[in-house]
Amino acid sequence: MESTPKTIAKGLTHTNCVTIAIAAPTTPVREKWTSNIEFTLSCIAYSVGFGNIWMFPYTALDNGGGAFLIPYLVVLFVIGRPLYYLEMAMGQFCSRGCVKIYDMAPAMRGVGIGQTVAMVVAMSYYTPVLAITLRYLVLSFSSELPWSKCDHSWSRCIDSDFRGYANTTGSLSEDRRNVSAELYFTHTIMHRAPLADGLGWPDGELVLCLLVSWLILVVILIKGVRSTGKAAYFLAIFPYVIIFILLAHSLSLEGSLEGIKFFLTPKWESLFSGKVWMEAVTQCFFSLSICFGGIIAYSSFNNFSNNVYRDAMIISWLDTFTSIIVGCIVFGVLGNLAHVTHRNSIQDIVREGPGLTFMAYPDAIAKFEYFPQLFSVLFFLMFFIVGIGSNLGAITSVITAIHDRCPTIPNWKIVICVSVSMFGAGVIYLAPCGLDLLDVMDTYGAKYVTLTLALFEIVTFAWIYGADRVCRDIKFMLQIETGLFWRVCWGFLAPGMVAVILVLSFVEYVPLNVPSQYNVAGWILYTFAILQLPLWAVYAVMTQDEKDFRTKLRAAFQPTKTWGPENEATRDQYNQLKCTRSRFRAATPARHRIRRLCNKIFD
C-alpha cells in the first residue's frame, strides 16, 4: 500500500478509481500533535518553566513578597489568562505561527516579526542559564558541595555550611563578609569582572555545558512536534515530583514558615505602586510565556476541533499554582537561611536575579543538616528540566516562523541552523561580563519589546480584526459561546492596563548600572524590533492590488483571501458563513461611529 501523500494539491480529480492531478503549486501539510495530551503537556513544559522557577521568586522578593502577590494575581486574571486563551484559540483556528497569523491584518505583521526578535533575544540567554544549571547539577554529585567551603584565595569569606551569622563586628560595609556560595559563583563559575573591562573569554567548562544543552535540544527538536510531544511526558510531569519533594522538605526546615508568611502576607499599600504593577505584568508575560509567539506556534499544530478552551484554563491555572508552590519552596528555604544566620530581614539575603538561584539557594542547601548533595541534585535537576521545556517552546516559535515563510525547507535543516547560530550567541553570556550583558538584553530586547508589542497584539486581535470576530471564529471552531468577561478583558481591560503600565515604565525608566554605550545599544535593539511595525505596515500597503491609496490602506488591515482554517473544505464553509453575515450587516449598517466601534467587541 502506498504511503499517504505529504502534500495537498489543488485540482485533483478522482474518476473510476483513478486520480488525475492537474499541475498546481503544492502546500506541505502542517504537522499535527499525535494526541491532545502531548499538546497540553508541551504547553505545560513551555509555560511552567524559567519564568516560574528563575524569575518569579526573585521578582516577588525584590517587590516585598506579599506586596507583589496581589498585583500579580490580579494581572494574571485580567491579562494573563485572557491573552493565553486568545493566542491559543487563534493559533489553532488558522494553523499559522506568530508571523503568518497576521494574515488577519497584514499591516500589523511587524508585531509578529518584532516578537520573533524578542524571542531570539530571550532564547540567546535562556540556554546559557541552562548551561550554568547543568554545571551546578554535575557539581552536586561531589562528595562535598564545592561551594560549601571557602577557597584560600578568597578574602573576607565565610563557609556556606556555617550555621550562624558572622557579620557581628559592626555595621560598616567593610565589615561585611561574603558567603562561599556567592564567591564560588562569581569567582569560580563566572569569573565575574566589570563590563567596562570588556566581555573577556568564556569559561571552557561552561561552554561545554552549553554544547551539551544544545545537543539535547536538537535531539528533541529534530523531528518536529512528534519528538517534542514525546519528550513532554517527562519534561512536564517529572519536575512536579521534585517540586513536591522540595516543598515537603522546605516546610520541615526551621524558620521556613516565617519565610512563607512573608511571601503570602499581602501589603495593600503596594496596590498604589506603579513599579509593582509593571513588574507584575512583565512577570505574567514571562510566567505564562504569552506575547512571545510560542503559544501561537504550539497551538498551530493542533487539530481544528481540539477543545482549546479547556486546555487554556488547565494550563493557566496550573501555571499560577506552580508559581505559588515554587514561591513557598524558595521563601521557605530563605526563611530557614535567615533563621540559621540570625538575620531579621529576608530581603537582606540576596539582591540580584541570578543570585537567588546560584548564590542564595546553594548557600541555603549547604547549611542543610542532612543530605545536602541530594537536595542540590533535586533542585538543579528540576531547574534543568524546566529550562529544557522553556527553551523548546522558544525555539519552536522561531522555527515555525521560518518554516511558515519557507515551507519547503526540511525541519531538520532549520533546527540545525538556528541551534548553531544561537549556540554562538549564547557563548557570549558565559564570559566574565556575560550576566551584565544578559541584564541589558533582557531589559531592552525582551521586557520592553514584549510589553510594547503586547499592546499592539491586543489592539490587532480585539479592535482591528475585532473581538467579536474572534468570538465567532471560536464558535465556528469549538461550538462554544464566548462570555462577556473575555470580551471585556480583550477589548478594554487588557489593552488599557498594558498601555498604562507601558507609559509608567518609560516615565520611571532608570538606566542600567552598566557603561552608557550598553544602554545605548539596548535602545538601538529596542528601536530595531519596534521599527518592524511601520516598515511592514508600509510594505503591506504598497503590495495591495488596489490602485487607490485609501483602498490599499483599508485592504492592508483586512484579512487576506487565504485567511481562515487550514483545511480547504472547512475554510470554504467558514467563508460562506462570513459572506452571509456580511450581507446581513450591509442590510443593517451601524451609522454611528461609536456603535461601529462597539460592534468590534459586542456585536
- What is the DSSP secondary-structure string of 16-77? TTEEEEPP--EEEPPP--SSHHHHHHHHHHHHSSHIIIIIHHHHHHHTTTHHHHHHHHHHII
Domains of the chain: 36-165+176-544+551-599 (1.20.1740.10)
Q: What is the 3-state secondary structure (H, E, C) of 532-592?
A: HHHHHHHHHHHCCCCCCHHHHHHHHCCCCCCCCCCCHHHHHHHHHHHHHHHHHHHHCCCCC
Encoded amino acid at 261, one letter:
K
Entry pTM:
0.87
Nearest CA to 134 out of 383, 362, 373 is that of 383
Enumerate the known binding-site residues for Na(+). 48, 52, 287, 390
Residue 59 has pLDDT above 90, yes or no: no
pLDDT value, residue 582:
63
What is the per-residue pLDDT for 584?
55
**Dist. CA 76–CA 317, nearest whole Å:** 9
What's the pLDDT tens digit per position in 29-55? 678 998 999 999 999 999 888 778 877
Mean pLDDT value across residues 321-346: 82
Higher pLDDT, 52 or 231: 231
pLDDT on residue 30 = 79
Asked whether the predicted pLDDT for residue 373 surpasses 60, the reply is: yes
pLDDT score of 263: 85
When pLDDT is averaged across residues 334-347 and rounded to a whole number, the result is 75
Taking phi first (over 0 means left), then psi (-120 to 50 degrees means alpha), and beta for anything else, what does residue 153 get? alpha
State the pLDDT at residue 27: 52
In DSSP terms, 26 is beta-bridged to: 9
- Which of the residue ranges 14-18, 71-75, 291-295, 314-318 would you say has the lowest mean pLDDT? 14-18
**Which of 42, 43, 88, 51 has its CA nearest to residue 322?**
51
DSSP 145: -
Residue 516: how many CA atoms within 13 Å on its side-chain side? 0
- What was the pLDDT predicted at 368? 82
Annotated binding site: which residue ranges? 48, 52, 287, 390
Q: Region 137-164: what's the mean pLDDT?
A: 86
Q: Are 112 and 293 in contact (CB under 8 A)?
A: yes
Name the most confidently modeled range: 320-329, 354-363, 474-483: 474-483
Judged by DSSP in three states, 203 sits in coil
CB–CB of 577/476 below 8 Å?
A: yes
Top-confidence residue, 466 or 353: 466
352 torsion bin: left (phi>0), alpha (psi -120 to 50), beta (else): beta
pLDDT tens digit sequence for 396-445? 999 999 988 888 899 899 999 999 999 999 999 999 988 889 989 989 99
Q: Which of 79-88, 442-451, 508-517 has the highest mean pLDDT?
A: 79-88
Alpha carbons within 13 angstroms on the beta-carbon side of residue 216 total: 19
Sign of torsion over alpha carbons 296, 299, 305, 308: negative
Per-residue pLDDT at 308: 94
pLDDT band at 133 (very low <50, low <70, confident <90, very high): very high
pLDDT at residue 166 is higher than 60: no
Q: What is the distance between the alpha carbons of residues 542 and 536, in angstroms, rounded to a whole number? A: 10
pLDDT computed for residue 89 by the predictor = 96
Q: How confident is the model at residue 13 (pLDDT cuts 50, 70, 90)?
A: very low
pLDDT of 253 strictly over 50: yes
Q: Residue 583: its pLDDT value, please?
A: 61
Sign of the alpha-carbon torsion through 239, 244, 246, 250: positive
d(CA 407, CA 259) in angstroms, rounded, equals 52
Look at residue 505 and tell me whether its pLDDT is greater than 50.
yes
pLDDT at 596: 56
What pLDDT does 523 receive? 96
Residue range 532-563, pLDDT digits in tens: 999 999 999 999 988 889 999 999 999 999 99
Mean pLDDT of the chain: 85
- What does the pLDDT look like over 191-230, one tens digit per residue? 888 887 777 889 999 999 999 999 999 999 998 888 889 9
pLDDT, residue 501, reads 86
